[in-house]
Structure 1
């Protein structure tokens, strides 16, 4: 019984919050443009499906594309910094400093330099995705057992062999941890990029809804952003279980 309560307690809390929200909206007659009731938001999400389907599809494709590029760049940078300590000492502090610059500040510059096409949007998503991957991957490399590294050195393994057969497999859990963060950041980056210049996407849908005081549609957009993040997270979680299980099977 305790396990069931612990497992489903978040769902119970959400239901309670929605109930209080719905009850408060009716009791205090809160205007829809200020804070619509959950039933109003749900009704708009169901009946307005045709008006935002292509927005949702556009943001999904943009998020996936940016995530793939960001993760690829992050892994390449992390491996280069790990294999080249001199480069890591020179570049890693700059990577840390770069995270102090808000993306919302860089985004207008990217629009000026590259226009309103897909490229600046992908760059924005790449920038928010690759840093968690770099940090998590480097931490995974550093956590590799020094005894195992020494053993492979004694066995005559080259640096490349140590990396491919020991360091990289041991870093996979850390890589997946960074990947989960990057997946949620990719949706955020896509929405931010759409705010700054686009003709479709959840960010555009949200902006249009806000300007017309359709608060129910704003909440619908927020809901789909949350669902999209959860879907990305779940897919990566499944991949993590499959790959790490397979890795443990091979090692065994």
Structure 2
């Protein structure tokens, strides 16, 4: 509640300063609309904005689930099988070296203008932080615990299940938090390249028509969506590693 109240107060201060500056300097609405005009746009077309926000939310959530799953599987494979790791690690790095704006048009050509290309775009962006953080956590397992497992005759599966996975969960939680923050980027970039619905599509249409208030309304909804997804992932991460959550409090 303290964090929520602090966030509300800060947001109110920012919006108040924004409104005051736009009014004092008579900034044209097509350059920077005041918060009141953006709020009016949100209330004027709630169904249109909600429908497009739902499309983007579906793309983000599915991309987050698929990207996180692939990231976890890749990290486990690279950790358990060193030969596979030597092949997978360069692929992970290369997937992030390619600019997303270069990949997005190809995905639209290959997969069409529907949800598939946007989900794949979001998956590509989410995959790396999850795989990288989880793999780092698996590799940082206490060597003493691994030696104890070997002396005790534990199998590779038991060592992974009882020692390495619990030790790597904080790293996985950090990777999921980062992934939740960047997840909207992939979906929106995919919508910018080619889409018939979604907040990215709304932004493009509003920008072409000089409807800056609609553009900011879509940005507001996208930011709100990102905050909600981050909060849900953060709650999940705290359940995954309750001992970390207890130490923080």
Instruction: Give the TM-score of the pair, scaled to structure 1.
Output: 0.90
d(CA) in 2 for partners of 1:184 and 1:242?
19
Query: Residue 5 of structure 1: CA displacement?
Result: 9.5
Distance 1:77 1:5, change over 3 A: closer
Match in the other structure for 2:89: 92
Preserved CA contact (<8 Å) 2:68 2:127: yes
Match in the other structure for 2:16: 19
Q: Any residues of structure 2 matched to 1:1-252 within 5 Å, and which?
A: 11-245=8-242
Distance 1:248 1:42, change over 3 A: closer
d(CA) in 1 for partners of 2:146 and 2:17?
57
Query: Residue 239 of structure 1: CA displacement?
Result: 1.4
d(CA) in 2 for partners of 1:11 and 1:180?
22
d(CA) in 1 for partners of 2:235 and 2:92?
30
Unaligned runs of 5+ in 2: none
- After the TM superposition, which of the residue ranges 235-244 and 168-177 deviates more from structure 2? 235-244
d(CA) in 2 for partners of 1:23 and 1:73?
47
Query: Residue 46 of structure 1: CA displacement?
Result: 2.1
Query: Residue 7 of structure 1: CA displacement?
Result: 8.6
Query: Residue 237 of structure 1: CA displacement?
Result: 1.3
The RMSD of aligned alpha carbons is 2.3
Instruction: Give the TM-score of the pair, scaled to structure 2.
Output: 0.91
Distance 1:151 1:247, change over 3 A: farther
Q: Deviations along 1:83-116, whole A, 9 cap, x unmatched?
A: 1112212331332233111111011112222222
Query: Residue 54 of structure 1: CA displacement?
Result: 0.7
d(CA) in 2 for partners of 1:57 and 1:116?
16
Distance 1:248 1:151, change over 3 A: farther
d(CA) in 2 for partners of 1:6 and 1:232?
16
Q: Deviations along 1:104-135, whole A, 9 cap, x unmatched?
A: 10111122222223222221111001100110
